[in-house]
Chains A and B, each alone.
Chain A
């Protein structure tokens, strides 16, 4: 379990080591063919800032070599904004007095039809954590309902036990995204004061349970803004490295959500500039040629247009972050504000104009 490895690292030591990297360390990391976690530290360190263009060029080449000129498309489908947890940064938090809504079977189908109509074949099902209303059985039913419309089903919901994952995989689930939010244990406690999510260790070991359950793909990440993003990203990369060695038949993706405004508002403790986000994306690519790097509509359109060439391999578009947001009830409360409001079609045109193929389907349920 990753926990065992995790507790061998000390947050402050890792942080100090990242911030003490020098230009020399960065140059060595850039010159290598294979890069270690120490090299990753150098690449995300402040010392790497002057090397950003060089990192971008390398990241571009490596991404092209492994993924070709393609960008995969997906979009989220929010099933419910019910949540029993308090998370200081989320609009669905229990203490946020908003109207709660959970899609019925019939509403799920209407949303699925609409999303499919936009061209998507990869869907990401999202709920809050409310085991009574949107527990494993609800999610299983939702997977069964949307299965006829999509070739790849991912979900981002509460962490589960191994046998629950097995049941959902059997029902057609392909990918699970589970972000640690932050690897800073004390800060994690502060941001998750109430609810099951406050169990840091259970969350940290979720990818292990997924690996054991034999999931096709696991998505990792932290919520950028809660803590020092460099240190958090090091722990993410270490987690990825461990998982790739241990559950070697599973694929992995990384996301970089930056804390966005939402109703109830927490100011980010740490700001990450656009330049730093580019640095982080390139650093991941230089560290791991295989990992999928995913970008959401949280980011600005100009940023999204340009990052296509820098290492990203999948993107969402036309996203709604409220239950029923596509057709059922477009005005319900969003989880966070999105920044790129363009339609999926507009986004796809932009991707094509840069000489990339837009991949709508890259999996088939028959393969599972």
Chain B
């Protein structure tokens, strides 16, 4: 794993005995002790994640908001300063270049938070789009100067309060503020990707270790655990949040992925024409939840059958610890979309019975939908 990038918390992970894996070009902790225990800690108390591998792109200038609005499908111009939106960013065919968060810092400053594996692709994409029109903006990839911690769980606020100089209860869901936590300058946002209430903290790389240690120290008596990518994947899956590379790719549109709510057709954005045409024509495939009725676990890439035809594929599948069910997210062809429809997942040459079910699979303590 010699050539992989490391976050400022790399040595903390080793010290905690984490098992490290390659993820999107980074060497990251997949688990510290047990994925299931870390999952449980986040669902019941809180867990602390190092998400410093995520990328940050800064857009500054008079046209920062207009440019961001052109870049992504969701609306940035209708956000207030201090608000955040989740959004796809599309190519000309309507396929998803990446799914990201847009932080509206001021009328002339916006921050994009992008997936680790897409940082270079996204930054190049943003640079290209900046040439489309005469935008008055300055772009910078600030990923290397920024560390990010995600503190997630129903008790996250109560615990973080002990060391926060920011009024956490004044930050509503998908809002952020700048201030100090344990004396460290942060952007604190009420966001996350686990289905639970919680915060994401952006700090300078030098501040990552002291903040990480302090949160684990004050959280220890509550049962807070450091949580790795394994737990993160399970949690986001139960909440039916997209994982880029699984549910979303350059070939999949937000409409197919069920992200219509984050596509604002009433404004201009890159890829709009293709998405309008798709909306007009109707979808051929879309993301659905499946529950396996027979034994087995559906994994990414497994094929789905019905009426002796291949009618789709699994994008993510796991045993969900919160529900005890064997569940999957899957792209399914038209006429097999209705909840209750019986389909089969091909698991190692065996057809395993499953049925289409409603999503999300699990609702946690998260305050409301973005």
| A and B: interacting chains | no
Tell me the B residues contacting A by CB distance below 8 Å.
Answer: none
